[in-house]
Structure 1
């Protein structure tokens, strides 16, 4: 078992499951062919006793050093991730969510590209509902800098839970910024616009837990308004043209207002790489 100079960043909040957290952590540390040098768990506000006990167990029994950032109140994913970034002591960060499962070679594959000079490396992922071994739809991200940039004009080009990135590249753009449930999309856009060297591995190196409400959470007027606000920000920074902006506002706004079942079909057919906002925190 080898280890590399990167930190695992894993936020946890009251809605997470203790058993899911244990599996997420073990898959990202114990079972990896290349382990992180440390783990930073961010407890975003009070959590149930079972979850608190699991966090304490991880602190005691982890084979790598674990630093737990405990926020007194639930501040949401953006602030939790920024708090974790501030605590991390290594130059590269690997993202992980508390209910997903990393494939054993995930970090080794990403680290190889980081060592080649990339600032951010994402991967594909495969969905599951209950059993990580019984998988469903693939989410294959675009690969190559040009395809990633072009894809980013209409859709999130990165699967956020799969990201590995250089801490200084994130610091250069000011870290995560609040943007509804689209802070990950906004982060990726700002990284690309800053000139960061980005890439994706198409292979599904993460198993992504989905629930019955995931497509409902992508919808409604709130999400449609956030989408329009994001598109305006992209227009102001010159990331999209006025024509692209108008098209995106109409098409993507309409998508957000569709029934969940219709959104699911369209998502599976046309996107696959992942719209942001699958999870609340």
Structure 2
């Protein structure tokens, strides 16, 4: 029997608000610095960008040690559609994700890709959060591990950090792919993958450094985010992923979270969400 391949595509979406220096760091950390580098990079430009970012994308593509596939949308179509466009151009079954302002640790793909090549459909990891200096952590996201624990937790909260995932393209497509849903298109995709029988896991070790930008906690609250929350919960109930009781609990708990003051939201996030609902740790 042939050995499972570890060749994979790296999918990076970029749009006009991305800082060119951050994009360079995300690219180099996920390509040049990896002990298991991608076989190709699919770089999706979501709409028009400024001159500085456009020049940066050209330099990255020209200087890359692996082939770079450029995908450009003439208008800003949003993350879900940008990722759909990118997935269609990925040459490999295994696809790794990184956002344009985050940092992959050097052994990230050497850790995750063999797990997917060995039979899993999706593997996420822990994350270290930082603000300006990537070497100064301001928080850690500790994920649930194991199929049963992940499926149970997914009925209350997103069990994967989207910038950390490596998945099978066919498993994403079998679940219907990315669908626009505010800032929750990733959670909605993962729910549908689990409902479709995807085999999943997380690596507890933080393999990605996640940049916490200004306004990160403000964006998790407000009326628009509440409307998205309700839409997600209704969708999960509709496909039978959650029960009526879980739906009510989620609307009350997660809905209330959207309207508490930003400072309270920050503390609640640290205690209940970033650490996988386990409570604070020393």
TM-score range, shorter chain: over 0.9
Matching residue of 2:280: none
Query: 1:273/1:15 Cα in 2 relative to 1: closer, same or farther (>3 Å)?
Result: farther
C-alpha distance in structure 1 between counterparts of 2:164 and 2:225, whole Å: 23
Alignment of 1:125-136 (within 5 A): 125-136=127-138
Name which of 29, 35, 39 aligns with 2:37: 35
**Per-residue deviation, 1:228:** 1.2
Q: Does 1:150 align with 2:170?
A: no
Q: CA RMSD in A?
A: 1.3
Q: Does 1:46 align with 2:48?
A: yes
* Length-normalised TM-score, structure 2: 0.95
Matching residue of 1:73: 75
Name which of 160, 165, 168 aligns with 2:167: 165
Name which of 109, 117, 123 aligns with 2:125: 123
Matching residue of 1:11: 13
**Per-residue deviation, 1:251:** 1.0
C-alpha distance in structure 2 between counterparts of 1:226 and 1:215, whole Å: 16
Q: Which ranges of 4 or more aligned residues in structure 1 deviate by more than 6 Å?
A: none
The answer to whether the 8 A contact 1:4-1:37 is kept is no
Matching residue of 2:180: 178
The answer to whether the 8 A contact 1:157-1:273 is kept is no
The answer to whether the 8 A contact 1:91-1:168 is kept is yes
The answer to whether the 8 A contact 2:94-2:117 is kept is no
The answer to whether the 8 A contact 1:4-1:35 is kept is no
The answer to whether the 8 A contact 1:44-1:80 is kept is yes
**Per-residue deviation, 1:13:** 0.2
C-alpha distance in structure 1 between counterparts of 2:213 and 2:135, whole Å: 16
* Length-normalised TM-score, structure 1: 0.95
Query: 1:243/1:171 Cα in 2 relative to 1: closer, same or farther (>3 Å)?
Result: same
Structure 1: runs of 5+ lacking an equivalent = 276-281
Matching residue of 1:189: 191
Q: How many residues in Structure 1 have an aligned counterpart in Structure 2?
A: 273
Matching residue of 1:59: 61
C-alpha distance in structure 1 between counterparts of 2:155 and 2:36, whole Å: 34
**Per-residue deviation, 1:261:** 0.9
C-alpha distance in structure 1 between counterparts of 2:172 and 2:117, whole Å: 17
Query: 1:273/1:65 Cα in 2 relative to 1: closer, same or farther (>3 Å)?
Result: farther
Structure 2: runs of 5+ lacking an equivalent = 278-282
